[in-house]
Structure 1
Amino acid sequence: MRFLTKSLQKLAPKRLGFGYRHISGLNLWHEEISSDIKHKIEDYWRDKLKVDDFDENETVRDKYYVLSMFPYPSGSLHMGHVRVYTISDVIARFQRMNGKNVIHPIGWDAFGLPAENAAIERQIAPQDWTQSNISHMKSQLQRLGCSFEWGRELATCDPSYYKWTQDLFLKLYDSGLVYQKKALVNWDPVDQTVLADEQVDENGCSWRSGAKVEKKLLRQWFVRTTRFAKDLLEGLDDPLLQDWRDVIKLQKHWIGECDGVNFDFKVQGGDDFLTLWTSKPEAITSVKFVAIDSKHYLGGTPGFVLQEGTKKLNLQLVHPLTGHLIPVFVTNQIEFLPFTDTFLGIPGVCPQATQFADKFNITYEKHKDLDENEKLRLQNQICRQASELGVGGYWSSAKLRDWLISRQRFWGTPIPVAHCDNCGAQPIRQLPVELPKVSMSQKGGAYLKQVADWVDCTCPKCQQKARRETDTMDTFVDSSWYYLRYLDSSNCQKMFDENKAKKMMPVDLYIGGKEHAVLHLYYARFISHFLYSQGLLPEREPFKRLLVQGMVMGRSYRVKGTGRYVPESQVKVIDKKKNRAVIEATGEAVVMGWEKMSKSKHNGVDPGDMFCEYGSDTTRLLILGDVAPTSHRNWNSNTFPGILNWQKRLWMTIQDFLKHRKTPPPSIPDDQFKAHDDYMFDSRNYYIKGTTFNYCRSQQHSVAISKQQGLTNSLRRVPASIFAKSLQFERALAAQIILLAPMAPHFASELWSGFVSAPNRLNHSGEIDWEKTVLEQKWPSLDDSYCLDLVCKVNGVEVCNVKIPKCDIEQLGEEEAIKIALSQKEVKEILEEKEVERTTYLFEPDYEGVVSVFTRWERKEKTVTL
């Protein structure tokens, strides 16, 4: 008996299933797939999809930092959120299954006007409103199945976060990059706050309230981002950056050509100054006047009119290098550069300045022409001198402005400064400077200046009575560095540990909307460049690769003539192809279109409704399907059947696999069996190759779904005996479920539980880990004997392909690959009358190799004898 037991134990792993970790699912294979079954699957697997968080002590696996732009906690997810966080989760799961040590954090961009306005409307504290929204949205993200590292979660409104935003402010302050001065600003009379230029639309209205923006002269805080303008411009050519495409053009356009130098001219007898730009820094000591565009001048400074269109002000500027006093004119008689309203007059060097000086009898000296070497020497000398004096001397563009960060609202990061009558503005270094907790009044909210016991403080320098700064910071400051706090979110001693940053930065993939491709990205890059200059970061650029996802669009219906939006339920569609429709009750013509989803347009789709009707995995597949992540997604239920039918076929495939493995059908002839077995071998490799490429290299997730659907078609095309007895079928089916897992983790986990429960396993090579869940499997790899393409191109045009086994093409050197390409008949025929100028070879592992041949375009002249 003891002998029999030992014998059974020896046989157990292969034949009896003893010793295997039991991966149990719901085991509902006798039922057809339905929404109810999908919900049961998700409820069962939701708490079992735990993935390993980033291991900070890892020394073997490569790190991969995938980051999605953190959401504003508005209260509920919208379909745009579903799209960006599904994409993020898919990539994080894919990289984990490919052996990467993945960082995948989440947080909340929680300060800002919407929460404050909502709190005013409800007469509650914005903290309470924000926290309730965070709780709800977090539960929705968890239902979506996102594998975020919740241990790194942060919220910008938490004092433990904004303490370090304030610390960042002080770092900038100590480096001379923060200053306060009077400035002509955009004032929103409804929201009662300053707006940056980019927050005002082309009609001069506020981007949020829609109110007509007013101009005000206010004392404001600025960050000197222009100091890094040239670095930021040159950084866009860093080879580290991948897939930035048109974002690089947007960033370069925003920064402008850095072909001039900024200098700070102090206002005589005051604390304010003007930052003035010139393309002739070598002649800066010869400045004779400053001109201000009369279109942008508010007045307030007395002066006298020289003639119509020009006025000389009763104020002067102090030259930063010579100390000479410089007169100031307000005029419409100078052609100012685009996006500028000041002009630095250097007569004798600039023709326009010379003409103005002659007209108004401003004396100046003539200048001799400098050769390029002398000019460059003088420029460097002057810039160095200005920099040492702290009055500019850095290259920038004429149009770029410093970052105005002051906001006159309550719900933001307090600026850590105290104003003292004796000492002036003094930094507060006891952080955090916390917001008081107050409820909001419908009569205009609560401003910090109204909270007297908060405003009153002690001067950090002289210990006398002082007043705290009552402006808060622009929320772009909070989001300019959050990707760094994720690395060390529990650190109570500093913003982040620089050793961790050196190990974990830069972000490998950054995912977000194109609406943030200019401002947010510019500010985040600036902070990264600044911290790099402080020795705290390993690279200047924070984001290696970008994925800019398109918007989710909903069908909208507007009454023709009035433009009033109406819900779909009130509309009768006459001709969908021609976008013809009417209001059912009145017969009024309706204009149909696709627009960004919003409540006001009645074209939004509630993700909660999608989860309830279809399940979260189906919703994930629907949002990924049809179009590339970078394209706009028109949300149309007509596209749903393709995904729903695919899930049904996958379910039926596991049902058939279990049935045929338990009760094998009659065998088919060996030659037919081999043909089908070879077909499954080829299908498995072909679709692994295509799906993997579209997961990680092209990031065309809709194409990755199409490739997987192709594999499903192949699996369902073979006879029952292949289901029962083919090793290649078993390998292909395993690959199918693994390929699906990052996109539909709950559904794939249930399919896998059915797959591994089947008897008569054939694959004992170690390729499949039968004791682990699908998300713990290694990503399927191509077989060594499978042939990859060596693509031969001439002048960018594909000419032919050469099939080479994977094991051989991986060993192929550039010289040998080019030799193979040049030996092909099709290539030879094209090159017969052309001279090869250069060649390149690029190998994409597990995909293909590409030899590109470039020729001189001119053909050799032929002599024709008649």
Structure 2
Amino acid sequence: MITNSIQKYTWFDGCFDFILTASEMSVFFFYRRFPIAIIKRHFYNETKKWEPLTAEMKHQIENYWSDKINRKSESAAVPSKNKYYILSMFPYPSGKLHMGHVRVYTISDSLARFYRMQGKEVIHPMGWDAFGLPAENAAISQNLSSETWTKSNIEYMKKQLMKLGISFDWQREIATCSPDYYRWTQFIFLKLYEEGFLYQKEALVNWDPVDQTVLAEEQVDANGCSWRSGAKVQKLPLKQWFIKTTKLSQSLAEGLQEMTEENWGDIIKLQRHWIGECEGYNFDLPLKEVDQTNVTIWTRNPESLKSTLFIALKSSHILVKPDYRNPSSTILKINAVNPLNGHLLPVVIADDLDYPEGSESLLGDPLADKKISELATQLNLQLSANEHDQRTAEEICQKALSEDWGGYKASSKLRDWLVSRQRYWGTPIPMIHCKTCGTQPVPVNQLPVFLPASKGEAKGHSALLNNPDFYNVSCPKCGGEAKRETDTMDTFVDSTWYFLRYLDPTNLEAPFDPKRAAAAMPVDIYIGGKEHAVLHLYFARFMSHFFHLLGWSTEREPFKRLLVQGMVMGRSYRVKGCGKYLKPEEVDFTGEKPVEKSTKKPLAVSWEKMSKSKFNGVEPESVWNEHGIDTMRLLILADVSPRSSRHWSKDTFPGILNWQDRLWSIMKRWIEHQKQEKTAISSFDKALLEKQENLWYDARNFYLKGATFSIHHSQQLSVAISKMQGLTNNLKKVPNNFSLKNSLQYERALGVQIIMLAPLAPHFASEMWTAFVDNAPRLSTDFAWAKTVLDQSWPQVDYDYNLDLVCFVNNQQGCTIKLPRSQLDTLDEARALRLLQQDHLFIKYNSAQKILSTKFDHYPGMDATLAVITEPKKKQKACS
């Protein structure tokens, strides 16, 4: 029987738990007939006793600290110059976190906590990429509305993220399916239209027969299959909306030159390959017989427009269709207008010409190509009197730009972004079609165009097509009957600017305040998967360049540094020959090699991206229920670089579990030593104390330097953990009969150990810090003893500690010069070079050679490198 006691208990219920008094428990039992467990609390903050570490105790520690480890949000303030913007790609609300989510958000949280301890004003927001096909299809399969399904998933995933201890600024939270957000996506869409970056035309599009919608070129893989459904894509002619991303292709290409390989890795090459070489120009030539349609031509030589006789198309071009074809001729029934001189240009079908890479159209300039000249002769086409036009290429481009028919630099293979989608769950396109006035933009004061409640979503077509209340409207220009656009936007449009809305999530007057954008941008580090290294990054970069063009943003490039994290891989078991995947319980592991349990057939065992269909996924909740939140955080960060794939296996667990046990035992010994009576120190003890002080002084500085570099400069969190474990090993080595009560350097080293652990395992470190502070003699002035561990400043390497100036000569390490931090911090390239030239190794190796270039890299409190390239030695002539 439970008495009415003040003793607190922990109630475990699935992945969430509650702290209740005994009287509260009795009430809870009344409503809950099947209790799972009642566990007495017995950890340090409750008992002031350091008991053995168990999984049960880890849960209790995390329950206690869960509401204490995050600072209050300050999102209302304009960021200061000391800001640090950490952005993780926002998730599609699938319903539950998977291990990929755990990895990316644990990385971002660890960095956010680290930079807060470094004194930075950290911006660490979170939101939901909530529109799109996956949500709509999942809702249909569950017989729910997309809105209901999405909102319930957001609620559950948010609880999981809070359980995981991620320090997001929830006051900045956004969801792309909220009218408060998509109102401004529509506003940006209209601004693109106003500035000549948006158009609608018929195009041969990629049609996904499974998801029943159009896909952009970027959403079709190398095998011609949909990036989402995997279905073979079909080509269909449809009238679609396009964003003219090619118009800024030269700007986007130039922006890549501002990025370094250190900050962007091979993503620079992927972006450059996608954009292509911007060595020519795009021109849009209107078609005389077809309203609101033009043909886009790419050419290296704009002056070819002066002598062009016709437009050549491949037979696969969208314009080569029965309505426009002459049965007995290669010349189509339509003509293009040359905006340079007003001449009509016949449009001809010719597959054997030398088209630019990725292009299906060509200017028929007989002066530029022998094949074109021969074709012009066959077609009996001759140059007109305007062939002596003296305008230069620059003048032609300027005319085209001013009259909005092209003239901008681009590559031949890059295409404009097709953004129409024929499905329901997306941002409504704010355009209206009137038979009298043509296509008209929705007035800004009528935004948002609300996405109506679904009247029965059906796979295969948009619910908007079945909603006359939505599409029957008045023309905003003439007031007559008109139809609202029923296509919605590609969800990638929503994610082109979300990082700016985070800075100003409640703004009712504009998408964001330019002053806030100027203060916070660019994003200092952007964390996400490599699958978005081309599409999303390209579109987001385009929108940022567009905002810069409008004067809304001072930065062209939105992201200073990328951390492209690798996938979390699970071990899969597939029957050889048939491709059938097995669940682990269907595998027999008793022999030398695993086989199918029922048939004994051999298996192909491999590491693959976690997937339900491959039965190789792991539910995060199962891991943290067994081992605790912080243990899982450390497991996901340890062993491999964040940029590398993470093979998830229980075989790797002992390393982290044992490390936590070692830390726990170190604290146990610390507490025991502090309880001992203070005794006089003999001369022998003084010598031993001095020796140990030097060892712990050196260990603290050495491992602190390595961990700080690994987090701040390379984001190699796994290496940082290795450095921390090295310090743990040094702290564990305490001579017999040695009292830690008198050791300043052990106190400093143990405090630094816990502080370095705090960004990675905040609950565990908070518990460790409480015991450390409660029992410390407080010999050190390094720490803010009255503050929690997460409110400590990140520790610094001592100014009298020797750091390294590592010198390289002609790409070979020449020498290492030791300098106290106080001197190395103030070192510049010229003084570093003088030190190198004075070194006897350099003099012996290179005294007679001329120095061609030097490169000096240095981070305060860290080692420095000096790389020198010298003139090659001349070969001596042989004696005659």
TM-score range, shorter chain: over 0.9
1:323 to 342, 346, 351: 342
In structure 2, distance between residues paired with 1:630 and 1:439: 45
**Do structure 1's residue 497 and structure 2's residue 517 form an aligned pair?**
no
Q: 1:62-97 CA distances to partner (integer Å, 9 max, x unpaired)?
A: 000000000000000110100100000011100000
Does the C-alpha gap of structure 1 residues 665 and 648 become closer, same or farther in structure 2, counting only changes over 3 Å?
farther
Does the C-alpha gap of structure 1 residues 117 and 325 become closer, same or farther in structure 2, counting only changes over 3 Å?
same
1:118 to 115, 138, 143: 138
2:322 to 300, 305, 311: 300
Does the Cα contact within 8 Å between 2:336 and 2:345 map onto a contact in 1?
A: yes
How do 1:84-99 residues align onto structure 2 when only pairs under 5 Å count? 84-99=104-119
In the other structure, the counterpart of 1:40 is 60
**Do structure 1's residue 812 and structure 2's residue 827 form an aligned pair?**
yes
In structure 2, distance between residues paired with 1:794 and 1:446: 66
1:364 to 378, 383, 397: 383
In structure 2, distance between residues paired with 1:551 and 1:660: 45
In structure 1, distance between residues paired with 2:78 and 2:140: 48
Deviation at residue 122 of structure 1 after TM alignment: 2.2
**Do structure 1's residue 592 and structure 2's residue 605 form an aligned pair?**
yes
**Do structure 1's residue 781 and structure 2's residue 803 form an aligned pair?**
no
Deviation at residue 267 of structure 1 after TM alignment: 1.2
**Do structure 1's residue 515 and structure 2's residue 515 form an aligned pair?**
no
Does the C-alpha gap of structure 1 residues 358 and 305 become closer, same or farther in structure 2, counting only changes over 3 Å?
farther
1:191 to 180, 188, 211: 211
Moved more, 668-677 or 400-409: 668-677
In the other structure, the counterpart of 1:734 is 751
C-alpha RMSD of matched pairs (Å):
2.1
Deviation at residue 61 of structure 1 after TM alignment: 6.0
Moved more, 27-36 or 75-84: 27-36
Deviation at residue 390 of structure 1 after TM alignment: 1.0
In structure 2, distance between residues paired with 1:137 and 1:234: 39
**Do structure 1's residue 638 and structure 2's residue 651 form an aligned pair?**
yes
Letter matched to residue 808 of structure 1: Q
Q: 1:164-203 CA distances to partner (integer Å, 9 max, x unpaired)?
A: 0000001111101111111110111221110112222333
Moved more, 337-346 or 598-607: 337-346
In the other structure, the counterpart of 1:160 is 180
Does the Cα contact within 8 Å between 2:638 and 2:718 map onto a contact in 1?
A: yes
Moved more, 483-492 or 823-832: 823-832
Does the C-alpha gap of structure 1 residues 161 and 681 become closer, same or farther in structure 2, counting only changes over 3 Å?
same
Letter matched to residue 622 of structure 1: L
Deviation at residue 736 of structure 1 after TM alignment: 0.3
Deviation at residue 833 of structure 1 after TM alignment: 5.2
Moved more, 656-665 or 494-503: 656-665
Does the C-alpha gap of structure 1 residues 503 and 60 become closer, same or farther in structure 2, counting only changes over 3 Å?
closer
2:412 to 388, 394, 398: 398
- Residue 271 of structure 1 aligns to a residue whose secondary structure is coil
In the other structure, the counterpart of 2:585 is 569
Q: 1:417-447 CA distances to partner (integer Å, 9 max, x unpaired)?
A: 1111111111112110001111534564642
In the other structure, the counterpart of 2:432 is 418
How do 1:508-657 residues align onto structure 2 when only pairs under 5 Å count? 508-573=524-589, 580-657=593-670
Deviation at residue 828 of structure 1 after TM alignment: 1.8
Q: 1:108-144 CA distances to partner (integer Å, 9 max, x unpaired)?
A: 0000011111121222210000000001110111111
TM-score (norm 2): 0.91
Q: 1:628-670 CA distances to partner (integer Å, 9 max, x unpaired)?
A: 0111111111111000000011111111101101115875621
Deviation at residue 50 of structure 1 after TM alignment: 2.1
Does the Cα contact within 8 Å between 1:664 and 1:721 map onto a contact in 2?
A: no
Deviation at residue 702 of structure 1 after TM alignment: 0.4
In structure 2, distance between residues paired with 1:59 and 1:433: 32
Moved more, 494-503 or 293-302: 293-302
1:273 to 285, 291, 294: 294
Does the C-alpha gap of structure 1 residues 445 and 28 become closer, same or farther in structure 2, counting only changes over 3 Å?
farther
In the other structure, the counterpart of 1:724 is 741
In structure 2, distance between residues paired with 1:593 and 1:242: 32
Deviation at residue 850 of structure 1 after TM alignment: 1.4
**Do structure 1's residue 679 and structure 2's residue 701 form an aligned pair?**
no
Does the Cα contact within 8 Å between 1:383 and 1:393 map onto a contact in 2?
A: yes
Note the residue ranges of structure 1 that are not aligned, 5 or more in a row.
Answer: 1-22
2:423 to 401, 409, 417: 409
In structure 2, distance between residues paired with 1:472 and 1:560: 44
Deviation at residue 340 of structure 1 after TM alignment: 1.8
In the other structure, the counterpart of 1:7 is none
Does the C-alpha gap of structure 1 residues 281 and 29 become closer, same or farther in structure 2, counting only changes over 3 Å?
farther
Moved more, 274-283 or 551-560: 274-283
Does the Cα contact within 8 Å between 1:263 and 1:320 map onto a contact in 2?
A: no
- Residue 715 of structure 2 aligns to a residue whose secondary structure is coil
In the other structure, the counterpart of 1:17 is none
Does the Cα contact within 8 Å between 1:92 and 1:104 map onto a contact in 2?
A: yes
Letter matched to residue 593 of structure 1: S
**Do structure 1's residue 286 and structure 2's residue 307 form an aligned pair?**
yes
In the other structure, the counterpart of 1:19 is none
In structure 2, distance between residues paired with 1:798 and 1:624: 32
Letter matched to residue 293 of structure 1: K
- Residue 64 of structure 1 aligns to a residue whose secondary structure is strand
In the other structure, the counterpart of 1:477 is 493
In structure 2, distance between residues paired with 1:689 and 1:53: 30
**Do structure 1's residue 263 and structure 2's residue 283 form an aligned pair?**
yes
Letter matched to residue 326 of structure 2: F
In the other structure, the counterpart of 2:157 is 137
- Residue 732 of structure 1 aligns to a residue whose secondary structure is helix
In the other structure, the counterpart of 1:386 is 400
Moved more, 140-149 or 27-36: 27-36
Does the Cα contact within 8 Å between 2:183 and 2:447 map onto a contact in 1?
A: yes
Does the Cα contact within 8 Å between 1:408 and 1:447 map onto a contact in 2?
A: no
In the other structure, the counterpart of 2:846 is 831
Moved more, 807-816 or 350-359: 350-359
- Residue 25 of structure 1 aligns to a residue whose secondary structure is helix
Deviation at residue 461 of structure 1 after TM alignment: 1.2
Letter matched to residue 686 of structure 1: F
Deviation at residue 302 of structure 1 after TM alignment: 3.7
Q: 1:483-521 CA distances to partner (integer Å, 9 max, x unpaired)?
A: 000000011111011111111111111110111010100
In structure 1, distance between residues paired with 2:475 and 2:690: 86
In structure 2, distance between residues paired with 1:416 and 1:704: 50
In the other structure, the counterpart of 1:338 is 357
Does the C-alpha gap of structure 1 residues 861 and 661 become closer, same or farther in structure 2, counting only changes over 3 Å?
same
* Structure with larger RCO (C-alpha < 8 A, sep 6+): 1
Letter matched to residue 706 of structure 1: S
- Give aligned pairs, total: 830
Letter matched to residue 427 of structure 2: T
In the other structure, the counterpart of 2:818 is 803
In structure 2, distance between residues paired with 1:175 and 1:684: 58
Does the C-alpha gap of structure 1 residues 175 and 452 become closer, same or farther in structure 2, counting only changes over 3 Å?
same
In the other structure, the counterpart of 2:7 is none
Does the Cα contact within 8 Å between 2:419 and 2:493 map onto a contact in 1?
A: yes
In structure 1, distance between residues paired with 2:769 and 2:792: 10
In the other structure, the counterpart of 1:447 is 463
Does the Cα contact within 8 Å between 1:156 and 1:162 map onto a contact in 2?
A: yes
In the other structure, the counterpart of 2:777 is 760
Letter matched to residue 435 of structure 2: D
TM-score (norm 1): 0.93
Percent identical residues: 50
How do 1:202-221 residues align onto structure 2 when only pairs under 5 Å count? 202-221=222-241
Letter matched to residue 264 of structure 1: D
Letter matched to residue 454 of structure 1: F
In structure 1, distance between residues paired with 2:195 and 2:637: 45
Deviation at residue 679 of structure 1 after TM alignment: 0.6
Q: 1:269-327 CA distances to partner (integer Å, 9 max, x unpaired)?
A: 322111111111122122211122124556223433667xxx22111111122111111
Deviation at residue 551 of structure 1 after TM alignment: 0.6
In the other structure, the counterpart of 1:847 is 862
- Residue 344 of structure 1 aligns to a residue whose secondary structure is strand
